Amino acid sequence: MTLPTTGRAWHLTARPDGWPTPDDFALREEPVQAPAAGQVLVRNLWMSVDPYMRGRMNDVKSYIPPFQLDRPMDGAAVGVVVASEADGFAPGDHVSHALGWREYATLEARHAQKVSADLAPLSAYLGVLGMPGLTAYAGLLDVASFKEGDAVFVSGAAGAVGSQVGQIARIKGASRVIGSAGSAEKVKLLTEEYGFDAAFNYKDGPVAEQLRAAAPDGIDVYFDNVGGDHLEAAIGALNVHGRATLCGMIAGYNDTEPAPGPKNLMLAIGKRLRLTGMLVNDHQALQPRFVEETAGWLRSGELKFHETTAEGIESAVDAFLGMLRGRNTGKMVVRLGE
């Protein structure tokens, strides 16, 4: 088989100031390296766009290095091995890895995980069975110490992480599951398909008022994907010894000025609240249990998921920008090939 010599990859060409624009990116031809000993060459079939990638476009010190200018970006991807110099990997194997935003990836085999198209669609390993799914699972069950009977509020509840948080809470015996989303269609999806007890459109009125109406007895757990007024509302609604998982704050990712903090943080003292930030990489030990349980819920139909699919590597930046503006339902993925 003749190996490809070039492939296209997306580069970040400028640091965005506020909202990114297409002018901050370029799709460029890159040489494809044949695999050396211990490496595999993968043709990417699917790639992920995720909210955390916005932070990597800023040149600031963080938990993950920033994207380098005029170099290929990276992120989760699933593909097929086209050449292997590594034991245990053969052409035709499907793998997930972290060198997305490009058509071909040459990487150390130890950084690739085999995935099965028989267990779930390959794109699911970027969402419901991938990093977003593990984030939901660990953030609810481990970080927030969820227990049966808890009332749970999830912001960004129609997204890849939030939709799974709410469903896992329901499956595990929550007394009430409430979600917020940004459209009437998404609110309907939460209650009619995902089994949330209540949901509201945060654009319809103050979040605190809508949350109070949806959870008159308060909440025990808050899973934060949004920050801002959602976090402030949740602090007001949390019961004594309530717990919040601070997973993401997409409301402020494109702000050019620091967002004001919750004005009611003093309530955390009297209520003895626990507000805990989380990074999914701290919870890799849960991966086997997460995949086993989640695959079972998918087979039984207890857990449902949606994806929004963009076609072709050319569409990746538009998909990323659309995701930041909430134009996806469930996980936003980009199909690069078959």
pLDDT tens figures, 39-69: 999 999 999 999 999 999 999 888 889 999 9
Q: What is the share, in percent, of the chain residues with pLDDT greater than 70? A: 100
The sign of the dihedral angle between the CA atoms of 40, 41, 47, 50 is positive
Query: Are the CB atoms for 253 and 54 separated by under 8 Å?
Result: yes
Q: What is the share, in percent, of the chain residues with pLDDT greater than 90? A: 90
CATH superfamily assigned to domain 6-127+306-335: Medium-chain alcohol dehydrogenases, catalytic domain (3.90.180.10)
Domain 137-281 classification at class level:
alpha beta
What average pLDDT does the segment 197-217 reach?
Answer: 97
What average pLDDT does the segment 141-170 reach?
Answer: 97
- Residue 158 phi/psi, 5° resolution? -95, 0
CA torsion, ordered 162, 163, 169, 171, to nearest 10 deg: -160
What average pLDDT does the segment 273-299 reach?
Answer: 95
Read off the pLDDT band of 249 (50, 70, 90).
confident
Query: Are the CB atoms for 93 and 109 separated by under 8 Å?
Result: no
Residue among 220, 214, 157, 219 nearest 189 (CA)? 157
How far, in Å, CA of 162 to CA of 6, rounded? 38
Query: Are the CB atoms for 172 and 148 separated by under 8 Å?
Result: yes
Query: Are the CB atoms for 235 and 262 separated by under 8 Å?
Result: yes
Average pLDDT, rounded, for the chain: 95
| Per-residue pLDDT, 64 | 87
| Per-residue pLDDT, 61 | 86
| Per-residue pLDDT, 321 | 97
What average pLDDT does the segment 3-30 reach?
Answer: 96
Domain boundaries, the chain: 6-127+306-335, 137-281
Query: Are the CB atoms for 56 and 66 separated by under 8 Å?
Result: yes
What are the start-end ranges of the H helices in the chain?
52-55, 131-138, 160-171, 184-192, 207-214, 228-237, 267-270, 287-300, 316-324
